[in-house]
Amino acid sequence: MELRMIGSTSKEGDCPTLYETETGDIVVQGDQLTEPEALAQLKHVKPGEAAVVIPRALLTQYAPKE
CA–CA separation, 31 and 50 (whole Å): 10
Structure confidence at residue 66 (pLDDT) = 67
Bridge partner list, 19: 5, 27
The closest of 64, 66, 51, 65 to 16, measured between CA atoms, is 51
Our count of domains for the chain comes to 1
Band of the pLDDT at 12, cuts 50, 70, 90?
confident
pLDDT in tens, 14-66: 778 999 999 999 999 999 999 999 999 999 999 999 999 988 888 888 877 76
Domain residues for the domain of 25 are 3-62
DSSP string, the chain: --EEEEEES-SSS-S-EEEEETTS-EEEE-EEP--HHHHHH--SPPTT---EE--HHHHHHHS---
